[in-house]
Amino acid sequence: MTLKIVVSVKYVPDAAGDRTFADDFTVDRDEADGLLSELDEYAVEQALRIAEAVEDAEVTVVTVGPEDARAALGKALSMGADNAIHVEDDDLHGTDAIGTSLVLAKAIEKTGFDLVVCGMASTDGAMGVLPAMLAERLDVPQVTLLSEVSVHDGAVIGRRDGDAASERLQAALPAIVSVTDQSGEARYPSFKGIMAAKKKPVETLDLDDLGLEGDELGLAGSYTVVEAAAERPARTAGVIVKDEGEGGKQLAEFLAGQKFI
């Protein structure tokens, strides 16, 4: 039986560029170059490793995002995923996490799954809530923030390193997992992988295809409103001194002046 793995990936503005807001306080996706969120590369990697460990598996990548987001799917396909789904609709502009989780849940349900693999957080919104929301919506176990993951006999097993303890988790499939950047370095696409990716199927879906109405989604349907966004005032330039043997002492004086010592 084929193990059907869906990887949920996000296309994000490059953190190395200048990220900013558009006039409607949505993330400006025109200003900065976009790419597959680095944290979702770990999700693709773990999905591929799980697929390689079983006899028969299919890895589908899915993204919800504008036209450019196809680039994120392309990267995942060149790493080795089998096929992709791109949910794209003008009415999605401004959709918040609640709405995105609804759209993703519908798309994932439509394609079918034994295992959904997510990243730990997107590198732009960085909420780290979507995997839990998907589990809630799809009513399947949530096995999240894993630094180690594997699938055995219809169950997913993983290690979650929390603040107070490191936990071993176990759940029966179907399930939703998310993996951290401790789970193992992501592979680079090979030349062969890049060439092969061009021929892999990418299905495009809009809200109609998912049986969703535009007015529940987008900026108008959002459950949250951003009322203001201000660039943080640049930190006032500090004092930078070169250590000529007294650097430690001067630093102590600075800290004493601030009442830290």
Ligand X SMILES: Cc1cc2nc3c(=O)[nH]c(=O)nc-3n(C[C@H](O)[C@H](O)[C@H](O)COP(=O)(O)OP(=O)(O)OC[C@H]3O[C@@H](n4cnc5c(N)ncnc54)[C@H](O)[C@@H]3O)c2cc1C
Q: Which of residues 18-57 bind ligand AMP (CB under 6 A)?
A: 37, 39-40, 43
In angstroms, what is the minimal distance from the CB of 73 to ligand AMP? 10
Return the amino acid letter for 208.
D
Residues 23 and 49: their CA atoms lie apart, in Å, by: 42
125, 184, 193, 214: residue in contact with ligand AMP (rule CB under 6 A): 125
46, 60, 63, 180: residue in contact with ligand AMP (rule CB under 6 A): 63
Residue position matching structure tokens 């603040």: 163
Instruction: Kindly state whether residue 129 participates in binding ligand AMP, applying the rule CB under 6 A.
Output: yes
> Residues 84-113 vs ligand X: string with x where CB under 6 A?
------------------------------
Residues between 1 and 40 with contacts to ligand X, criterion CB under 6 A: 38-39
Residues 170 and 228: their CA atoms lie apart, in Å, by: 43
Residues 158 and 144: their CA atoms lie apart, in Å, by: 9
Instruction: Kindly state whether residue 128 participates in binding ligand AMP, applying the rule CB under 6 A.
Output: yes
Residue position matching structure tokens 């790493």: 79
Tell me whether residue 226 or residue 241 sits nearer to ligand X (CB atom).
241
Could you tell me the two tokens for 162? Answer: 């929390």
28, 58, 68, 181: residue in contact with ligand X (rule CB under 6 A): 181
Host H or E run for residue 47:
helix 38-53
In angstroms, what is the minimal distance from the CB of 257 to ligand X? 23
Strands (E), 37-140: 57-64, 83-87, 115-119
Residues 118 and 6: their CA atoms lie apart, in Å, by: 9
Tell me whether residue 220 or residue 255 sits nearer to ligand X (CB atom).
255
Task: Count other Cβ atoms within 10 Å, centred on residue 52.
Answer: 10
Contact residues for ligand AMP, defined by CB under 6 A: 8-10, 37, 39-40, 43, 63-65, 97, 100, 104, 118-119, 121-122, 125-131
Contact residues for ligand X, defined by CB under 6 A: 38-39, 181
